[in-house]
Amino acid sequence: MQAKQVAAVRAVQSIQEGMVVGLGTGSTAYYAIQEIGRRTAEGLQIKAVATSVQSENLAKELGIPLIPFAEVEVIDVTIDGADEVDGSWNLIKGGGGALLREKIVAAASKQLIIIVDESKAVGQLGKFPLPVEIVTFASELTLRKLEALGCKPVIRLTASNEPFITDNGNYTVDCHFDRIEDADQLNLALHAIPGVVDHGLFLHMATQVIVGYADGSARELER
Ligand SMILES: O=C(CO)[C@H](O)[C@H](O)COP(=O)(O)O
């Protein structure tokens, strides 16, 4: 098993009968959804909500029962990946373009289990460009406001060089900071920009971080 899969399989052990489960997005969350599919095929009774169209489609293929958000009061556990995680379990997410739905689901979850391989554990956040979801209206203006925060903002493109459009119909801007000195302050500054819908800093949200290693082991990241 590769590192991402080991972390995913370990995290899925936390899912118990009757739970409402949030399904993350990305290549690590993919392994978690596969494992949830395997367990539901064996008879585990759960209900799930997805953080992207991609994960929703995968869940449908695997026969994982999905419920509409209108029926969700609380999500017991969400298992999701991350692009960076620091020693306080603060995260950069959104590399896979799903940060808004991921944050809505994470905020509604009693437990948020983050699964990563060891390359994602960092001393300080910011080497990975911070994804920011913005509305398409007046995007040039929003880009200038982002630049004023000290980063180089780049609208994410698809392989065919078109702007990448999120599941919510917005742009994603990758903000190159190199290092983020004060993530709490940056969180406030980003939310103060009107065209910003949300951003990939997930602060004080994770309740557990599981790191998978190339030797096939998985360990909880201490805080
Ligand atoms: O935030 C995300 C998607 O928006 C992903 O969880 C993050 O990009 C990590 O992806 P991967 O597991 O493929 O490395």
* CATH code of the domain in which 136 resides: 3.30.70.260
Closest CA to 80 of 126, 132, 128, 12: 12
pLDDT tens digits, residue range 111-127?
999 999 999 999 999 99
Looking at the structure, do residues 29 and 100 belong to the same domain, yes or no? yes
Please count the other Cβ atoms lying within 10 Å of the Cβ belonging to residue 123: 8
pLDDT tens digits, residue range 35-71?
999 999 999 999 999 999 999 999 999 999 999 999 9
Looking at the structure, do residues 82 and 189 belong to the same domain, yes or no? no
Count: domains in the chain: 2
Closest CA to 41 of 56, 55, 17, 62: 62
Residue 70 CA: distances (Å) to CA of 67, 74, 105, 109, 154: 8, 11, 13, 15, 35
Looking at the structure, do residues 75 and 95 belong to the same domain, yes or no? yes
pLDDT tens digits, residue range 152-181?
999 999 999 999 999 999 999 999 999 999
Q: Which of 35, 56, 102, 133 is catalytic?
A: 102
pLDDT tens digits, residue range 1-35?
899 999 999 999 999 999 999 999 999 999 999 99
Residue 119 has which token pair? 């390359």
Looking at the structure, do residues 151 and 96 belong to the same domain, yes or no? no
* CATH code of the domain in which 97 resides: 3.40.50.1360
Looking at the structure, do residues 149 and 99 belong to the same domain, yes or no? no
Whether 45 is covered by a domain: the verdict is: yes
Please give the backbone phi and psi of residue 103, each rounded to the nearest 5 degrees, phi first: -70, -40
Whether 70 is covered by a domain: the verdict is: yes
For 106, residues 6+ apart whose C-beta sits below 8 A from its C-beta are: 22, 78, 80, 112, 202, 205
Looking at residue 141, its amino acid is L
Please give the backbone phi and psi of residue 170, each rounded to the nearest 5 degrees, phi first: -110, 170
Average pLDDT over residues 133-142: 98
Looking at the structure, do residues 73 and 166 belong to the same domain, yes or no? no
Looking at the structure, do residues 189 and 138 belong to the same domain, yes or no? yes
Looking at the structure, do residues 101 and 208 belong to the same domain, yes or no? yes
Whether 222 is covered by a domain: the verdict is: no
Encode burial over 15-45: b for 16+ CB neighbours within 10 A, e otherwise. beeebbbbbbbbebbbbbbbbbbeebeeebe
Looking at the structure, do residues 104 and 159 belong to the same domain, yes or no? no
- Any residues with Cβ below 6 Å from ligand 1, and which? 24-29, 80-83, 93-99, 102
With the most atoms of ligand 1 within 8 angstroms of its CB, the residue from 2, 6, 28 to mutate is 28
Atom of ligand 1 nearest to the CA of 24: 6
What is the domain range of residue 150? 130-195
pLDDT tens digits, residue range 88-105?
999 999 999 999 999 999
Looking at the structure, do residues 14 and 104 belong to the same domain, yes or no? yes
Looking at the structure, do residues 75 and 173 belong to the same domain, yes or no? no
Whether 164 is covered by a domain: the verdict is: yes
Q: Is 102 a catalytic residue?
A: yes
Looking at the structure, do residues 50 and 150 belong to the same domain, yes or no? no
Q: For residues 22 and 76, is the Cβ–Cβ distance under 8 A?
A: no
Q: What is the model's pLDDT at position 1?
A: 85
